[in-house]
Amino acid sequence: PANRLKNFGVNLWAEFSSLAKEHKATNIGQGFPDFVVPDFLQEEVRKAVAIPSANWYTRAQGHPRLVKELAAEFSPLFNRSIDPMSEIVTGVGAYEVIYAAITAFINEGDEAVVIEPHFDCYAGDMDLSGGKLVRVPLRPTGDAKYAKNWTLDREEFEAAFSERTKMLITTTPHNPIGKIFTKEELEYIGSVCKKHNVIILSDEVYERVVFDDNEHVRIASLPGMWERCLTVGSAGKTFSVTGWKIGWALGPANLISQLQHVSSCSTFTAPTLLQEAVAGAFEYERSVAHTDDAYFKWLPAKLQQNCQMLSDAFSEIGCVPVWPDGGYFMIVDTANMGWDFSDLKTGRCYDVDCVKWLTREFKLATIPISVFYGNKNRHLAAKYIRVCCAKSDETIVRACQIIRSLK
């Protein structure tokens, strides 16, 4: 294999998802909704397949109908007129556009600052580009039971930047903490990036899942920020169809054109049929936006309800859930349970052994947190596990029963 693959081992999702399958576990680990695809989305696929050209190759940088829909959807959210052809690229999921962004801008020896814990693919993509991630952890300040209290230490954050820094990677709503960065936090982060002339890759795949009275702020919509931001979204997460694998990045033409180069020689196009269906889904959603049928109202309300049920069940047995501001995930501190896995002598972290034990012995699949950290800061969330609230009623009810049986 090529040298750039030297740090690669078994993929985290492959490992924990196959363990869940092997033990026929109730899966509140991997972040994929397991509920039935709503009728309006099924209808969009039926309509798309009947259009002959929707079954052919399409424009490499993004299917024309989809980029036009995305421009119509996002222009008001960014308070600007987004040009569909030059300021948007679509790809095979957010995964592909993140890969394209890192490949397009990171040279060997360049650095990207990332807020830790962080979604794992950023590290793999940096390895493939020969760059280095510089991690700055969120640290609980005040009551650790609220995701919003996990914040950046400003001195530590600023110290992470140097003349080698090319990019900052942020995730809001955050995976795995569930934090939504406030406008004030994003203004601060933006000002540091501006000072160091750094591109911001803002992963906002969970943008539609906002709980309580929180607000999802797009860093690219803040004054003077559009020019340096790539904002990433996912139809999989927006419409709860992770298998569709349609993602996009929005940003200024000079940055987006570079991602378009990477995509056009890697995948060339994301599937036309599904781009057509996603375009139809946005169009439909806009037509019902102010009614009770609005999917973007139903989704956060449902996931918040699920999160509350999981949170209640964990609290009852003595675990300490960290209440999220939004997103698919909640982290849960298991330290009070007095579970001890030291005899297993696996050499892996407590949370990895704990997750495997819960999957094997109780048929409940979750995800460890240490896998979202580098070695240095892994201890910061040593006894936390991650659960996903984007699950069907049946899965949530069954998971809560299992959690209560752990007492």
Tell me the C-alpha to C-alpha distance, in Å, between residue 90 and each of 99, 173, 358.
12, 21, 38
Nearer to ligand GLN, 13 or 357 (CB): 13
> Scanning residues 220 to 239, which ones bind ligand PMP (CB under 6 A)?
234, 236-237
Is-contact 294 50, C-beta < 8 A? no
8 A C-beta contact, residue 203 and residue 194: no
Number of residues that bind ligand PMP (CB under 6 A): 15
Q: Is residue 205 within the footprint of ligand PMP (CB under 6 A)?
A: yes
State in angstroms the smallest separation of the CB of 39 from ligand GLN.
Answer: 25
What would the x/- binding string for ligand PMP be over residues 61 to 100, using CB under 6 A? --------------------------------xxx-----
In the range 226-285, which residues lie near ligand GLN by CB under 6 A? Answer: none
Tell me whether residue 320 or residue 385 sits nearer to ligand PMP (CB atom).
385
Q: Does 31 bind ligand GLN (CB under 6 A)?
A: yes
Nearer of residues 11 and 305 to ligand GLN, judged by Cβ: 11
Greatest CA separation found in the chain?
Answer: 61
Q: Are 135 and 112 in contact (CB under 8 A)?
A: no
Q: Which amino acid is at 22?
A: E
* Interacting positions 331-350 with ligand PMP (CB under 6 A): none
Q: Which of residues 239-258 bind ligand PMP (CB under 6 A)?
A: 242, 245, 247
One-letter identity of residue 85: M
Residue 22: partners with Cβ closer than 8 Å, 6 or more residues away: none
- What is the smallest separation between the CB atom of 265 and ligand GLN, expressed in angstroms? 24
Positions 159 through 188 that interact with ligand GLN (CB under 6 A): 175
- Tell me which of ligand GLN, ligand PMP, none is bound by residue 171, counting a contact when its beta carbon lies within the kind-specific cut-off of 5 to 8 angstroms: ligand PMP
Q: Tell how strand 329-333 and strand 364-365 pair up.
A: unpaired
DSSP assignment, residue 5? G
Q: Closest residue to ligand GLN, Cβ-based?
A: 31
Nearer to ligand PMP among residue 236 and residue 280 (C-beta): 236
- Rounded to a whole number of angstroms, the minimum distance from the CB of residue 176 to ligand GLN is 7
The residues, ordered by sequence, that sit 6+ positions from 190 with a Cβ below 8 Å of its Cβ are: 200, 219, 222, 224, 225
- In angstroms, give the least distance from the CB of 388 to ligand GLN: 6
Closest CA to 322 of 242, 237, 383, 257: 383
Decide: is 13 part of the binding site for ligand GLN (CB under 6 A): yes
Integer Cα distance of 121 and 100 in angstroms: 12
User: Among all chains, which residue has been given the structure tokens 């406030």?
Assistant: 182
Q: What is the dihedral of CA 384, 97, 127, 332, to 10 degrees?
A: 0
Token pair recorded at residue 401: 């029963």
CB of 30 to ligand GLN, least distance (A): 5
30 binds ligand GLN (CB under 6 A): yes
Tokens coding 11: 């993929």
User: Does the protein bind ligand PMP through residue 203 (CB under 6 A)?
Assistant: yes
Name the percent of the chain in helix, strand, coil, to the closest 5: 45, 15, 35
Contacts with ligand PMP, 113-152, as mask; x by CB under 6 A: ------x---------------------------------
- Residues lying near ligand PMP in the complex (CB under 6 A) are found at 31, 93-95, 119, 171, 175, 203, 205, 234, 236-237, 242, 245, 247
